[in-house]
Chain A
Amino acid sequence: AQRVTQPEKLLSVFKGAPVELKCNYSYSGSPELFWYVQYSRQRLQLLLRHISRESIKGFTADLNKGETSFHLKKPFAQEEDSAMYYCALHSSGSARQLTFGSGTQLTVLP
């Protein structure tokens, strides 16, 4: 069975400091991984996906198959990055279900 683990429920960093949100997964197939973000009073939305190898709002995430990890990183955190972040794994089934981690609440302090 597939599983996504985000070990940190709460994470606080100071503005300008680097930030890393951890995500580990368990999946027997070839994984498709995503990071979703929910800012205060806004909808849950896609932040980035590993297939695109993109940097969004300064965030990057590299898929490490050896460590089964997909950690989200940003070199210099901003106060507007404060939000709930979810790591998610796409299944290969017909319905394309997402399995979400339990989420990490990031707070960037001034």
Chain B
Amino acid sequence: SQTIHQWPATLVQPVGSPLSLECTVEGTSNPNLYWYRQAAGRGLQLLFYSVGIGQISSEVPQNLSASRPQDRQFILSSKKLLLSDSGFYLCAASPGLSSTDTQYFGPGTRLTVL
């Protein structure tokens, strides 16, 4: 089975500062990778997904960007954080294109922008 690592676990950043959240995956090759934001009362919102190295799709327009420099590494970034970027960010991975693929989630990163 897959293991998803995320760091840092918590982060407090001032408005206007840059951001880099990292996610790595163990236990599978060429996974589909996902970044979600979990906001109170709003559930899980898909931000980005990737089906391969260098391939990033964005679901919602926003202040954030994502990159996949290696097969099992997924990075969420921002050049200048906004207050509205605060939230709980989850990375997820699924093994491929099977109709029964399960998504496995990381422990998440709690971001607070002050």
Contacts and interface: CB of A to CB of B under 8 A. Distances in A.
> Real complex partners, A and B?
yes
Nearest to B33: A95
B109 interface: no
Contact of A96 (B43, B94, B106): B94
Contacts of B76: none
Contacts of A99: 46
A101 B43 contact: yes
Interface residues of A, number: 23
B74 interface: no
A52 B101 CA distance: 12
A97 interface: yes
Given A94-B97, A95-B32, A99-B46, A46 B103 contact: yes
B43 A86 contact: yes
Interface string B24-46: 00000000101010000111111
A87 to B, nearest CB: 9
Nearest to A44: B105
A7 to B, nearest CB: 12
A18 B67 CA distance: 45
Q: Chain B contact residues (Cβ within 8 angstroms of A): what range?
A: 20 to 34
Contacts of A83: none
Contacts, number: 56
Nearest to B95: A96
Interface in A6-40: 6, 9, 32, 34
A43 interface: yes
A97 B59 contact: yes
Given A34-B102, A102-B43, 9 more contacts: A9-B41, A43-B4, A44-B90, A46-B102, A90-B99, A96-B32, A98-B34, A100-B36, A103-B43
Interface of A: 6, 9, 32, 34, 43-46, 49, 51-52, 86, 90, 94-103
When A and B form their complex, which 3 residue pairs have the shortest distance between CB atoms, in order from nearest? A102-B43, A100-B44, A44-B105
Interface of B: 4, 32, 34, 36, 41-46, 49-51, 57, 59, 90, 92, 94, 97, 99-108
